[in-house]
Chains A and B, each alone.
Chain A
Amino acid sequence: MLTLQYIPFNEIENLSSERRIAKLLAIVKKNKIILMQGRLKSIEEAGLIEKTMEEVNKEFKGIELCTIYPTIDNNSKVTKQIKNAMIKMLMGDREGLTIIGPATVVKEIKRNPDKIELFTHSLASRRLLQGRK
């Protein structure tokens, strides 16, 4: 069974970067896949990778991470660009979606501009990866 945990942005909004990373990593280490509203800042993403690497061990092999968010098309009409910029200003980091899963559960997240494919390990290989229980 796969567990998906939804995290609305207001749950992490007032946390410091360190506490955001710690919260997300604690959930992933319970073998849950996070669907988070919004996105982390680039520097927080790097911080998440850094912290993940510090915690890699026999049972925890790391994470799969994917962030999607609408990009502003500079070739679109000026009115549309202004509208998008306004939405971005109001929404901030709430825009988009972040998926984070443990590498022992999520094999790969493939992202193309318009779709996301999430591949998981089979139950048997997950058991093997999680320390041969």
Chain B
Amino acid sequence: MIDALKTLLNKLIPSLFAKKKHMRIGLYGPPNSGKTSTANRICKDWLGEDAIMGSVSEIAHETREIQTKENIHMKKKGKELTFNLIDTPGIATKIDYEDFLKHKMSRKLAKERAKEATKGVIEAIKWLDNMDCVIVVLDSTTNPYSQVNITIIGNLAARNIPVVIAANKIDLKKANVKSIEAAFPQYPIVGISAEQGTNMEELYESIVKMVR
């Protein structure tokens, strides 16, 4: 009897004092769509100028591991939101180390990067189940009807995870936010430039709205 009571108390006490779990907001998208640039911009805006999530590069698969920034406190139009931001590696259906050689990378480094990139894709897919909300970052200068985009959004819908689409790179001439709106009419879409910080306020409003 005493043992049973002890076991019960041991189970109850940690949960009574456990820290409240923060919401997890993930950044998903194909490689080079600007997920880490978006994450860096969010960190700068809400955690201070020096806060960044990770390095960015024009070479695909720069982010090859899940990166997390905890306790981001966002206030928007009287609404408050505290969350952990999770940057994920870009999801791709193919990875060829020879693509990295075009960027003057050594064969050894290119092979290593490709191997890490494949693991990163697997990790990103596995993390889908851990997300409370997702910002899908798409490159607005490319065709939105790619299977990777459709698979990511389809998987979020299948898991009932709220989504906001950030149509990134609107500072570039070829940007076409309307084509993303036509491809995914059922989702809120905000055209942004993570690099320039354009329209980020609108994205934050959509995030707060999506969560509430």
Contact = CB atoms under 8 A, between A and B. Distances in A.
Interface of A: 41-43, 45-46, 49-50, 52-54, 56, 61-67, 103, 109-113, 129
Given A53-B119, A110-B143, 14 more contacts: A45-B151, A45-B154, A45-B155, A49-B91, A49-B92, A50-B122, A54-B118, A56-B95, A56-B114, A61-B95, A61-B96, A64-B93, A65-B147, A113-B145
B128 A49 contact: no
Contacts of A62: 92-96
B151 to A, nearest CB: 4
Say whether chain B's binding surface is mostly helix, strand, loop, or mixed. helix
B157 to A, nearest CB: 7
A67 B154 CA distance: 12
Say whether chain A's binding surface is mostly helix, strand, loop, or mixed. mixed
Interface string B34-45: 000000000000
Given A45-B154, A46-B125, A65 B93 contact: yes
A55 to B, nearest CB: 9
B15 interface: no
Interface in B76-99: 91-96, 98
B118 A56 contact: yes
Interface residues of B, number: 27
Contact of B128 (A41, A46, A61): A46
Nearest to B151: A45
Interface of B: 91-96, 98, 114, 118-119, 121-122, 125-126, 128, 143, 145-148, 150-151, 154-155, 157-158, 182
Contacts of B95: 53, 56, 61-62
Contact of A111 (B121, B126, B147, B154): B147
Contacts of A50: 121-122, 125-126
B145 A52 contact: no
Nearest to B157: A42
Question: Which A-B residue pairs are the 7 nearest by beta carbons?
Answer: A62-B94, A42-B154, A103-B94, A53-B118, A61-B96, A45-B151, A111-B145
Given A49-B125, A110-B143, A42 B151 contact: yes
Contacts of B98: 129
B150 A67 contact: yes
Given A54-B122, A63-B93, A42 B155 contact: yes
Contacts of A45: 147, 151, 154-155
A72 B111 CA distance: 44
Output the residue of A49, A52, A54, A64 with the most chain B CB within 10 A.
A49
A105 to B, nearest CB: 11
